[in-house]
Amino acid sequence: MNPILIALDVPSAAAALALTDTLRGSVGGYKIGSQLFTAEGPSIVRTLAERGDKIFLDLKFHDIPNTVAGAVESASHLGAWMMNVHASGGQAMMSAAAEAADRAATAGRPRPLMIAVTVLTSMSAEVLASVGVHRSPAEQVVYLALMAKAAGMDGVVASPLETAAIRDACGPDFLIVTPGIRGGSAEQTSGRQDQSRTMAPGDAMRAGASYLVVGRPITGASDPRRAAQDIAAEAVASVTNLN
């Protein structure tokens, strides 16, 4: 599968549908996060899933185990291919989420991939310390990744700078979804830099990423489809060269 997942950080269904129509066939799937989901609700997930698109529902569920399990079951009904929870919700919460995903499969629906968010890419060591976490970002990420694996999660979301350490700790089959991917003309012209732990696409794949979440380097490019093809080619070539 093409490892590029496009962040649909747009304000409306119309904008999301236009972007997916432009990029379909050049990317592996699409990430729907809080902005689009809050604006348009579950219908945008269902609409794109019914078109055959793989949807990563990035709502970062974080609540008591029973509530999170219910959210996972509801999202599976929408056709989400992948969804995430916050690993900091604890092992019991993650286990409840994984079990809810398993129940979706026994009910005849495709089992969604369950991914745990470790440390947001915007968080530096100083920010972690300010909320009472005194491990380094890399140490905290690996700690949470091991907890997620023990809870039955399929993988984690983590910055590309921690990917190699997660791969070493959790093995070759554990999924690593990597945001904070940088590169392309859009990045050179944008002043927004809200992620502090970033990496280029090829480097992230060589470090062991399974999927790359890409936003502005593609969606802000003058030719988004060409930008997507170039980034996907770089990602695939970087893995091919390792074999």
Residue 239 has pLDDT above 80, yes or no: no
Cα angle: 30, vertex 10, 116; to 5 degrees: 45
* For range 26-45, the mean pLDDT: 98
| SS3 call for 243 | coil
Cα separation, 169 vs 166, in Å, equals 5
Domains belonging to the chain, first-starting first, are 4-240 (3.20.20.70)
Pick from 114, 138, 111: nearest CA to 124: 138
- pLDDT tens-digit profile of 199-224? 889 999 999 999 999 999 999 999 99
Amino acid identity at 201: P
The per-residue pLDDT for 188 is 42
The per-residue pLDDT for 192 is 46
| Distance, CA of 234 to chain centre | 19
Q: Where are the alpha helices (DSSP H) in the chain?
A: 13-23, 34-40, 42-50, 65-78, 91-106, 125-130, 137-150, 163-170, 185-189, 201-207, 216-219, 224-240
What's the chain's average pLDDT? 91
* For range 81-89, the mean pLDDT: 98
Neighbours of 34 (CB within 10 A): 11
The per-residue pLDDT for 241 is 59
The per-residue pLDDT for 184 is 47
DSSP 26: T
Report the interhelical angle of 91-106 vs 137-150 (nearest 10°).
40
Specify the range with the lowest mean pLDDT, choosing from 49-53, 219-223, 237-241: 237-241
Annotate 202-219 with b (16+ C-beta within 10 A) or e (fewer). bbbbbbbbbbbbbbbbbb
**Do 76 and 101 touch, CB atoms closer than 8 A?**
yes
| SS3 call for 16 | helix
149 assigned to active site = no
Residue 240 has pLDDT above 70, yes or no: no
Specify the range with the lowest mean pLDDT, choosing from 11-25, 27-41, 170-184, 205-219: 170-184
- pLDDT tens-digit profile of 146-170? 999 999 999 999 998 999 999 999 9
* For range 47-72, the mean pLDDT: 98
Residue 227 has pLDDT above 70, yes or no: yes
Q: Return the bridge partners of 211, or none.
A: 177
Give Dmax (Cα) for the chain: 48
- pLDDT tens-digit profile of 164-192? 999 999 999 999 999 978 764 444 434 44
Cβ-proximal residues to 59 (8 Å cutoff; 6+ apart), any chain: 33, 34, 37, 71, 75, 83, 84
Cα separation, 67 vs 85, in Å, equals 12
The per-residue pLDDT for 189 is 38
The per-residue pLDDT for 100 is 97
Give the active site residue among 31, 54, 60, 149: 60
pLDDT band at 28 (very low <50, low <70, confident <90, very high): very high
Residue 94 has pLDDT above 60, yes or no: yes
Pick from 58, 47, 196, 42: nearest CA to 117: 58
